[in-house]
Amino acid sequence: MNEIRDPYYVDFSVTPYCNLKCSFCSASACGKYSKTYEISFDEVKDIFNQFDENNIMRVSIEGGEPFLRSDILDILELVNNHMFSCYINTNGTLITEEIAKRISTSGVEKICISIDGPEEVHDRSRGIKGTFKKVKEAVGYLQKYDVPIDAIITLTKINAKYMIETFDVIKNMGINNVAIMLLATVGEASKNHVSIDYSEWKEVLINLTDLKKENKLPVNLQIVHTGESQLPWELYLPLMEAGREEDLSMWIPPNITSSLEESDFGCTAGRDNLAIDGFGNVFGCSLMISSMELSAGNVLKDKLSNIWRNSEIFQMMRSSKLDNIEGKCKDCKLLYKCKGGCRACAYAKSLNYKFSDERCPVCRGERIWS
């Protein structure tokens, strides 16, 4: 059994509801709306105190859409009283000038705002017309009050063809740091067919790699793959097939220190991180919140420290080993380097935590190693 360390970071969904309708929503929050918060302000206060008690270093406030809560600014102002650094993930549609001003004096370090494409593409991605205009206004207000902003592009069939235009749009808004989130097939994305095909992804990645190599990307670009590994299949397979393995180092930060052993899954859920959904349920990772069977407990009913140390689900996550992986990964020569993809995606598809992540073409039997 691995040693139990304190959790390092938490994704905290302060509401399960949202005003937009993204067909890929990992939180299955799309179009669900209620004015009743499931977690009260006093409960948020108590949860923040528990974050300090558990030595948590970083908290991402998210949802659903956090700015749907009318008390969100009071919540953000609590952050100054705590030890953790705090980011917010938002769709940006509800940020007015007044809100931007108050964010600038709260303890929040950075806003991560979703921008999936140029106007028409973004609106299609987010399921509601007029969304892009509101995000653009929000960015202007946040910049007026010097709030640091990163842009997040969630990559799907809807926007894959428009990456370069999207970078230009984001750059023209005055944002330099951009992350492309590779789609996790969980929540709505496990039901709707919005993932791009592997062959299309390969084309996008090679194109981005060429541009990055030639210093022609207009923004600082990161590609956020799922799982902690030196050879994540999402990046390694396409580059390897193109005979460009050496370019992997352009996307994987050098010297990432991993707390995982060689035989562990490349999954830090329940080892370094946890997530709390908008009802107080605790999970290993925010990508697990649509799989209730993976809930480790509820922070409105039990102490976070007790859930973290003693829940059977977290113990199962900590003791899971690559040797026990099931499905096609078992015979893959890359297993101990790739570390088997994302556990949330594998579970959402198979209801088996140890199964292969079938987003990978090798797992689907579409690629056979010679």
Judged by the rule CB under 6 A, the positions of this chain that interact with ligand SAM are 18, 24-27, 62-63, 65, 89-91, 114, 152, 154, 181, 183-184, 186-187, 189
Question: Which of 285, 289, 307, 313 touches ligand SF4 by CB under 6 A?
Answer: 285
116 lines the binding site for ligand SF4 (CB under 6 A):
no
Which listed option, ligand SF4, ligand SAM, none, makes contact with residue 90 (CB within 5 to 8 Å by class)? ligand SAM
The phi, psi pair for 126, rounded to 5°, reads -90, -5
Is 18 within 8 Å of 25 (Cβ atoms)? yes
Min dist CB 236 to ligand SF4, Å, is 7
Question: Which of 111, 158, 296, 334 touches ligand SF4 by CB under 6 A?
Answer: 334
Toward ligand SAM, which CB reaches closer, 49 or 222?
222
**Which parts of 7-66 interact with ligand SF4 (CB under 6 A)?**
18, 20, 22, 25, 27, 29-30, 63-65
Helices 163-172, 198-213: inter-axial angle, 10-degree rounding: 50
Q: What is the DSSP letter of 166?
A: H
Which listed option, ligand SAM, ligand SF4, none, makes contact with residue 226 (CB within 5 to 8 Å by class)? ligand SF4
State the Cα–Cα distance between residues 363 and 368, nearest whole angstrom.
Answer: 9
Pair of tokens at residue 194: 């919005």
Pair of tokens at residue 294: 């993976």
Min dist CB 186 to ligand SAM, Å, is 6
Is 308 within 8 Å of 314 (Cβ atoms)? yes
362 lines the binding site for ligand SF4 (CB under 6 A):
yes
Of 295, 269, 270, which is closest to residue 282 (Cα–Cα)?
A: 295
294 lines the binding site for ligand SF4 (CB under 6 A):
no
State the Cα–Cα distance between residues 280 and 291, nearest whole angstrom.
Answer: 14
Toward ligand SF4, which CB reaches closer, 217 or 279?
279
Q: How many residues bind ligand SF4 (CB under 6 A)?
A: 36
Question: Which of 158, 170, 332, 348 touches ligand SF4 by CB under 6 A?
Answer: 332
Is 81 within 8 Å of 32 (Cβ atoms)? no
Pair of tokens at residue 92: 């940006």
Given phi > 0 = left and psi -120 to 50 = alpha, else beta, which region is 143? Answer: alpha
Q: At which residue do the structure tokens 């007044």 appear?
A: 98
Stretch that binds ligand SF4, among 33-41, 69-77, 192-200, 341-349 (CB under 6 A): 341-349
Question: Which of 159, 209, 268, 295 touches ligand SF4 by CB under 6 A?
Answer: 268
Which listed option, ligand SAM, ligand SF4, none, makes contact with residue 362 (CB within 5 to 8 Å by class)? ligand SF4
Which listed option, ligand SF4, ligand SAM, none, makes contact with residue 343 (CB within 5 to 8 Å by class)? ligand SF4
Is 283 within 8 Å of 295 (Cβ atoms)? yes
HSE-up of residue 334 (Cα within 13 Å, Cβ side): 25
State the Cα–Cα distance between residues 305 and 295, nearest whole angstrom.
Answer: 15
Which listed option, ligand SF4, ligand SAM, none, makes contact with residue 30 (CB within 5 to 8 Å by class)? ligand SF4
State the Cα–Cα distance between residues 368 and 328, nearest whole angstrom.
Answer: 10
Q: Using CB under 6 A, list all residues that contact ligand SF4.
A: 18, 20, 22, 25, 27, 29-30, 63-65, 91, 226-227, 233, 267-269, 285, 287-288, 328-329, 332, 334-335, 338, 340-344, 356-357, 360, 362-363
